[in-house]
Amino acid sequence: MKFGIVVLPGSNCDHDALHVTRDVIGAEAELLWHKETDLKGVDCVIIPGGFAYGDYLRAGALAKFAPIMDPIRRHAAAGGLVFGICNGFQVLTEVGLLPGALMRNAHLRFAGRDIFLRTEETDTPITSEVMKGQILRMPIAHGEGNYFAEEDALDELERNRQVIFRYCDEEGRIIFASNPNGSARNIAGICNRDRNVLGMMPHPERCSEAILGNADGLGVFKSIAASLARV
């Protein structure tokens, strides 16, 4: 299996994702520069966190014009895995691989702290090794993490079980107080209808080693590795 981590101008979590995939789970992994037009045979593309193109206009708005986005679209259309983390989630909505949009946090402040999220669905390649209902603690670091979609689109996400993670409290309750940014229905991560493209605002790559004091994010990367191994 091979991971490709996209490097956009302003990415700052690319080497974190490279470290976890290559050094922690032991997979082949390499960085993919934003001007590349060849994904170099990767099985899973990761679009990492950061501030692509300085988040000018809005987060992810300029990244959709990067040359590498066309091969990523083709990769996704062919059933390849695409995983967007934080800014990567924002980019995936801008390029149309995921529905909805990420808006300014409702309180208009940058949010950087640990939160809890509940795993809603496990029949995706990115959550297959996580238990349904499992509560995970992960860090967030964003100013535009407020997930928005029209009510009918949200209803469709629910019907298709595309809501993969929701913000919750330590006991797993989906309540207003546990929502760090105002996201509709406490949504923290979604997938596409084919379940091969997933975006989430929290950072699993920043909590995938016990030495960091929290390895809750490792299950996400183990899920991808296990899913690829089964192919």
Instruction: Give the residue numbers annotated as catalytic, written as ranges.
Output: 86, 203, 205
Burial class (CB in 10 A: 0-12, 13-18, 19+), 101: middle
C-alpha–C-alpha distance, residues 59 and 53, integer Å? 8
